Amino acid sequence: MGYDAFYEPAGPDTFMSTPATAGPWDAGSQHAGPPSALFARAFERHEPIEGQRLARVAVDILRPVPVAPLTLRVRTVRPGRRITLVEGVAEADGQEVLHARGWRLARGPQQPSGSGADPGSEAGAGAVPALPPVSAARPWPGVHAGGYMEAMEWRFVSGDFVEPGPARVWMRPRLPLVAGEETSPFCRTMMIADSGNGVSARLDPARWLFVNVDLTVVLHRDPRGEWVLMDAVTTIGPDGAALAASRLSDHDGPVGQGMQTLVVTPR
């Protein structure tokens, strides 16, 4: 690939975006997964409170994010011992490109047996499919096959990029989010969850655009291990809006959900 991470640090709040961040449609614009993960990283580190964990991150995508230096500004909106709300703005080329908010929640005591605290035993969760063997993912025509597409590993259980409809895919990043750092479980999941609309596309990407204007990820526990299973479904409305919803799991069971609001237009 020729690069060692999605971002190189360039100061306390600024990051050089490497070609690994480039999305599938344009080598000059980032896939929204990596910059969304940068927000998760910032929210975990900003004025941390002992005993709290990041549980939800919601990102609004104001405009395409260029593969360029990215600066994050983060502040605490609502401090507290049990819950903390933080928010941030990402800027590139002198423009605000992303807004985000994150909730950190206090870790509580272990819940009683049978309460659903063990995600691997939740009622109706079903068995998590095994990790398939390595296989080449089939890209769709016109895709930028480098960047994010190459920097992530894809193992489809069902569906794929060119087969319309729901899909289940195990994913992991091949690179750290920030050079020289270990990527946290929440950051790793944010990088993955923004692909829900892509893997579960219902329309021909050569004829239609179905881009997301936001990404929300809620994790009731941190995923264990480097692989995350995304079980994604896209539902298209009658007047140009759609929803991509993804159930997120690790090898032990469900960990949370991702959601994307999509705008659907002909090319």
Chain segment 9-46, per-residue pLDDT in tens:
999 899 999 999 999 888 999 999 999 999 999 999 99
pLDDT of residue 202: 86
pLDDT in tens, 120-147: 434 345 689 999 998 766 676 677 878 9
For residues 70-97, give the mean pLDDT. 97
Cα–Cα distances in angstroms (integers) from residue 198 to residues 28, 32, 33, 120, in the given order: 18, 12, 12, 27
Q: 37-81, pLDDT tens digit by residue?
A: 999 999 999 999 999 999 999 999 999 999 999 999 999 999 999
State the sign of the Cα–Cα–Cα–Cα dihedral 59, 62, 68, 70. Answer: negative
